[in-house]
Amino acid sequence: MLYNSNGRIIWQSFDHPTDTLLPTQRLLTENQLISTASNSDHSSGIFTLRMQNDGNLIQYAISTTPVTPSNAYYASNTFGSEENVSLVFDSDAYLYLMNSTRVNMRNITDKGMIAGQLNSTLLMTSGPQGLCGLNGFCIQNDQEPACVCLPGFESVDKGNWTAGCERNFIADSCGKNNDSLKYTMEELPNTIWEDDSYFVLSTSDKEGCINACSDDCNCEAAFYKDGNYRKQRFPLRYGRRLLSDSSIALIKLYTSTPTVDENVPRKRNSKIQKDILIISVSLVSFASFMLVISVVVLCKSNSWVYKRINTRRSDDFELLGEEVALRSFTNEELERITNGFREEIGKGSFGTVYKGMILSSQRLVAVKRLEKVLEEGEREFQTETKAIGRTHHKNLVRLLGYCHGGTNRLLVYEYMCNGSLADMLFTPENKPCWEERLGIACGIARGILYLHEECETQIIHCDIKPQNILMDEYRCAKISDFGLAKLLKPDQTRTFTGIRGTRGRNVIWDLPEEESILEEWAYTCFECGELVSLVGSEEIDKRQLERMVKVAFWCIQEEPSMRPSMKKVLLMLEGIVDIPIPPSPEFFS
């Protein structure tokens, strides 16, 4: 059932029966029931019971006949009586025709016949047209209907009456004068068929009808009744035996195989073979020609690619070219992409970053020009290109290409339109909300976990800070700048790295003295249960805040063995594992 917003039924399947009527169910105007194929096969059968809009209830055999009044084999004959008439299966097991005011107009179950007997009774007492298909006719066997084929015909499908019958011989063409052709006329008494005759004439007896059809090559069946005869061609339709009718059907049967002019097929076969030979030779020639062209084009293409690679790859860069599937740019190409390195968007310890656009794809990129090429810049280029080129993760900035020509060392990255995390955190109008900050923290953790454990060559970044976390157009955090990356060999299980830069305290100068050292103030708030002081008036989930703070204290432990792995950090951030109480940061005192 379908209901509207007021709870009223606007459609229900009970108003649309398919092959069965249930007690109190109605067959409405312009609706129909379609019979099943059999008692065990519930696919659509060949009969339909239709409630017409003129008030007439009609039954048709729909498989081989058009739905027209002349082809109906049952009708209630209530047409024109009233509009909006429906068929109702009442609770007393009778079928009624009911008008729009729900008044019974007629009981069609015929004085006590229950509704379940309706279909079989109609089938026995009526002649459904098309039931036996083409060239077949209906007979009665012990009050049960059966289909029989015309003489000289066989059933197309023995399990399907409506498929009809087909010839079991090859008929000769009327255009040939074949004197060896012999045939007889076989009688089918008391059978009636659809009148589709092409010739009608009166004759005194049946023999005259037989002779007239025998002399006519086009005549394949003749019908004789009361001194009149009709000539027809196959197929014959709507046949049935009616013992009360004196009609006689005369079917022409061939008794000898027609002779065939052997020269015609031979000439035809010769022409077909010649055509096939011409087509085959043409196809083989075309295929050979295309193969030669393909080989030439492939050889020239490989030669051009080989020359291009050799001109751009120096001897010390061969191994890198095999390992990294990146695009190689020339310095001139990058000058065009960046419009002469005009728009500077960032500057780091190893070089400057410029904004550019690849014109062919209209894609924005960030081009990093490396400095100190002869010393640290060369080493950074090799490290970043090898490491980033083999990594692919949603929380890592993707390296698109490089320039390694002469003294020029440039890297081409995907462009991050929202800048760095530092830009967002320290810009009040762009500052992310609490839920976004949680997502950023988890995204960074996933990226570091990938670098530590999941990529082909494990990498320690060593320089994670807000300036090295870039934000894409969807404010998704991506780790950048592998300038200080240290590659781990697969057999390295424990690697300790020295502290980079000057170790000191995170001092916030514009706060009171007791709050100026962030780590000590945060731990004091944690011990006193006043973590909300860290976020001011912002509405947040206190349990999430406590989880974040506890993870942070575990990650800044001085002793490396006490720091959790990145996999465990991610599980703690997501709330999957419990977080023990972190120790006091005594090393800050």
CB 240 within 8 A of CB 139: yes
Question: Is 368 part of any known ligand binding site?
Answer: yes
Of 22, 76, 71, 73, the residue nearest 51 (C-alpha): 76
CB 186 within 8 A of CB 178: no
- What SS3 class is residue 125? helix
Provide φ and ψ at 113, rounded to 5°: -70, 125
Q: Concatenated DSSP letters for 483-513?
A: TT-EEEPTT------PPPS-----B-TTS-H
C-alpha 279 chain-centroid distance: 39
- What SS3 class is residue 218? coil
Catalytic residue among 179, 463, 472, 541: 463
| Cα dihedral value 143, 146, 151, 157, nearest 10 | -170
Beta bridge partners of 232: 221
Kindly give the pairing relationship between strand 199-202 and strand 228-232: antiparallel
**472 catalytic per annotation:** no
C-alpha 571 chain-centroid distance: 36
The CA distances from residue 570 to 446, 450, 547, 577, in Å, are 7, 11, 12, 9
Q: Give the tokens for residue 404.
A: 């390694």
Of 406, 321, 408, the residue nearest 367 (C-alpha): 408
The CA distances from residue 6 to 1, 10, 69, in Å, are 14, 10, 43
568-571 LR contacts (CB < 8 Å, sep 24+):
569/445, 569/449, 570/442, 570/445, 570/446, 570/449
Kindly give the pairing relationship between strand 74-75 and strand 2-3: unpaired
The CA distances from residue 527 to 17, 34, 482, 520, 582, in Å, are 73, 79, 37, 11, 11
- What SS3 class is residue 191? strand
Q: Give the tokens for residue 95.
A: 């079928």
Q: Give the tokens for residue 42.
A: 């519930």
Rounded to whole angstroms, the Cα distance separating 534 from 22 reads 72
C-alpha 341 chain-centroid distance: 47
Rounded to whole angstroms, the Cα distance separating 258 from 263 reads 15
Of 458, 469, 464, the residue nearest 484 (C-alpha): 464
Amino acid 429 reads: E
* Annotation: binding site: 368
By annotation, the residues acting in catalysis are: 463
* Annotation: binding site for ATP: 368
